[in-house]
Amino acid sequence: MDLKTLGLDEALLKSLKDYIDTFDDKENNIISILHYAQDIFGYLPKELQIYIARLTDLPASRINGIVTFYSFFSEKKVGAFKVDVCLGTACFVDDSKTLLDAFKDQLKVDEDGLSQDGLFNVNSIRCLGACGIGPVVRVNDKIYGHVKPQDVKEIIKVHRQELEEAKK
């Protein structure tokens, strides 16, 4: 496999290979290997899964099965902020679909897409378990209740500022 065709940084691929080589039993350490790969690349695209499969002598289908089974792995690039808009019944009847559309429009992404600046992922989720304060939005671990479309700009602004403060 020509690593240049993967479109992934060769130094990071070497780091991953070196990490994998530290394990005698690669199969029983595959979760750790996948976590390491996601930590350095930010996500686990199909090409990277195939590369890992070859280095571990495991079928690519097995690697993909693990990646798609566990919610902490992602095949898509992810931003610093994961925005989950609840579309469960209680939130949906309070017009959370309009709220989802407001986030998508404001950040210029499709559902489950990455914002143009690479900072936000916008997703719909079936239920966040906070039906009494719907419609509900979760940004990473922070829950916002009774959210209206006009609140979207401010929520985004708060998190952009949070990132700027963290950089200082």
CATH number at residue 120: 3.40.30.10
What residues of the chain score a pLDDT lower than 50?
A: none
35 and 58 share one domain: yes
- The answer as to whether 39 is a domain residue is yes
Which residue in this structure is represented by tokens 């039906």?
131
The alpha carbon dihedral of 65, 68, 76, 32 has a sign of negative
82 is in an annotated binding site: no
For 18, the enclosing helix (H) or strand (E) is: helix 10-20
- The answer as to whether 76 is a domain residue is no
Tell me how many domains the chain contains.
2
59 and 89 share one domain: no
- The answer as to whether 65 is a domain residue is yes
What are 2-24's pLDDT values in tens digits? 555 557 788 999 999 999 999 99
63 and 85 share one domain: no
- The answer as to whether 118 is a domain residue is yes
Query: Amino acid identity of 144?
Result: Y
Last residue of a domain, one of 14, 47, 69: 69
131 is in an annotated binding site: yes
10 and 30 share one domain: yes
63 and 99 share one domain: no
Q: Which residues touch 84 (CB under 8 Å, ≥6 apart)?
A: 123, 124, 125, 128, 137, 138, 139
Q: Would strands 137-139 and 81-86 be described as parallel, antiparallel, or unpaired?
A: antiparallel
Last residue of a domain, one of 47, 69, 91: 69
**Token representation of residue 16:** 């991953």
- What pLDDT is stored for residue 15 in this prediction? 96
- What pLDDT is stored for residue 152 in this prediction? 98
Owning domain of residue 133: 81-167
- What pLDDT is stored for residue 94 in this prediction? 94
pTM here is 0.68
Could you give the 3-state DSSP secondary structure of residue 64? Answer: helix
- The answer as to whether 157 is a domain residue is yes
Could you give the 3-state DSSP secondary structure of residue 56? Answer: helix
**Contact at 8 Å (CB) between 47 and 12?**
no
3 is in an annotated binding site: no
Last residue of a domain, one of 43, 69, 95: 69
91 is in an annotated binding site: yes
